């Protein structure tokens, strides 16, 4: 998947999980609703310039959008329980992945 499309899908899932309309997001970003639609479908490459404001709106770190965009395979030794967690995570919908990431970040910070 191209990086622009991966970013677009993350934005869409994040907006949906926040139960926010495209219109509300467009107003927060000071752009048109159709511009938000273009960002969410990857029809425009402008998403990266909005990442600081989007991360502020949804209270997620910018790395949330940038992590996992590498197309190179990564070799890493993991434990069996990490493998189980990864497989469970991969089975989640994009919206549930966002919720899982937020939960893990809250647990890390407690």
**Which tens digits make up the pLDDT trace of 62-90?**
887 777 544 556 577 889 999 899 899 88
3-state secondary structure of 18: coil
Mean pLDDT, residues 41-48 taken together: 81
**Domain boundaries along the sequence of the chain:** 3-66
Output the six-digit token pair for 31.
């752009």
CB 54 within 8 A of CB 26: no
Report pTM: 0.61
Output DSSP code: residue 37: H
CATH number of 3-66: 1.10.260.40
């Amino acid at each position: 998947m191209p990086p622009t499309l991966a970013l677009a899908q993350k934005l869409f899932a994040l907006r949906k999980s926040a139960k926010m309309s495209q219109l509300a997001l467009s107003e927060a970003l000071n752009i048109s609703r159709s511009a938000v639609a273009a960002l969410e479908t990857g029809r425009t490459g402008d998403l990266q310039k909005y990442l600081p404001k989007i991360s502020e709106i949804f209270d997620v770190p910018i790395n949330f959008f940038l992590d996992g965009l590498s197309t190179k395979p990564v070799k890493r030794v993991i434990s069996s329980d990490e493998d189980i967690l990864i497989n469970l995570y991969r089975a989640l919908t994009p919206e549930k992945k966002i919720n899982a990431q937020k939960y893990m970040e809250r647990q890390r910070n407690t």
